[in-house]
């Protein structure tokens, strides 16, 4: 049973409510990540690493299972996966993917593969993966709801959808600050004011757990089990 049973299903005008004051286009997002590809591991690496480790634990990956990482970027997560599973990573940025492939080759991560793909329209069949994971990507994609629904679609029944991301603070003062800075933070790879509850409602996701991670605990780890 999820945390929000009976609450996360779309109703009324919920689907038309803004998730963020900032809207972005696919071309803009691709350009941002092409530009920061060379610096990504240094700027978003160590500070966000504890959340990555917690996400891996939540996946409960068993031998032979297939993981999809949405927004694989430079492949910073790839070495964290057990070698007895399969990992497919997708991303829009060719520069990011070049770095990810370099990681695969240099570290001998033969259980991993990457491909250029738009997460809002994945080419995978329904029920293809045991775990579908989006690390630090939902708050920058042009349509986070569509990405989340695609993640759910390609996840097998009984599998896990894991979302690790920054969402707007429940603290009123901090929330207003995040809304104010969101038009600026999008230029470094994320919107600061994505509304978690509304996102879950519109995406029709019913999480079994929601946890705060990293230091300070400004990031959220959401776990959904597909019914």
Give the tens place of pLDDT for each residue, 176-206.
988 998 888 777 767 889 999 999 999 999 9
Q: What DSSP letter does each residue of 130-142 carry, written as one string?
A: EEEEEES-TTTSS
Report DSSP state, residue 121: S
Is residue 224's pLDDT more than 90? Answer: yes
Give the tens place of pLDDT for each residue, 74-130.
999 999 999 999 999 999 989 989 999 999 999 999 999 999 999 999 999 999 999
Is residue 44's pLDDT more than 80? Answer: no
Q: Are 189 and 138 in contact (CB under 8 A)?
A: no
Is residue 72's pLDDT more than 50? Answer: yes
pLDDT at residue 180, as a whole number? 92
Q: What DSSP letter does each residue of 3-65 carry, written as one string?
A: TTTTTSS--TTGGGS-S-S----HHHHHHHHHHHTTTHHHHSSGGGHHHHHHHHHHH-PPTT-
Short-list 171, 163, 157, 107, CA closest to 137: 163
Distances in Å between the Cα of 72 and the Cα atoms of 8, 141, 207, 224 are: 27, 13, 22, 19
- Fold assignment, 14-225: Rossmann fold (3.40.50)
The pairing of beta strand 155-166 with beta strand 219-225: antiparallel
Residues pairing with 68 in the sheet: 88, 132
Report DSSP state, residue 88: E
């Amino acid at each position: 049973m999820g945390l929000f049973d009976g609450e996360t299903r779309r109703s009324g005008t919920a689907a038309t409510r803004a998730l963020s004051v900032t809207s972005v286009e696919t071309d803009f997002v691709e350009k941002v990540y092409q530009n920061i590809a060379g610096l990504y591991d240094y700027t978003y690496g160590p500070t966000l690493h504890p959340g990555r480790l917690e996400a891996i634990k939540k996946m409960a990956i068993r031998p032979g299972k297939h993981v999809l990482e949405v927004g694989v970027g430079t492949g910073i997560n790839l070495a964290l996966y057990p070698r007895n599973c399969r990992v497919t990573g997708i991303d829009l940025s060719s520069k990011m993917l070049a770095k990810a492939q370099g990681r695969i080759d240099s570290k001998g991560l033969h259980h991993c593969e990457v491909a250029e793909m738009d997460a809002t329209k994945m080419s995978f069949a329904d029920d293809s993966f045991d775990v579908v994971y989006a690390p630090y990507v939902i708050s920058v994609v042009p349509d986070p709801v569509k990405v989340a629904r695609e993640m759910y679609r390609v996840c097998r029944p009984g599998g896990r959808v894991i979302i690790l991301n920054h969402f707007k603070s429940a603290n009123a003062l901090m929330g207003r600050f995040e809304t104010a800075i969101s038009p600026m933070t999008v230029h470094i790879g994320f919107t600061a004011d994505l509304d978690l509850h509304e996102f879950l409602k519109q995406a029709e996701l019913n999480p079994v757990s929601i946890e705060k991670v990293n230091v300070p605990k400004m990031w959220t780890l959401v776990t959904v089990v597909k019914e």
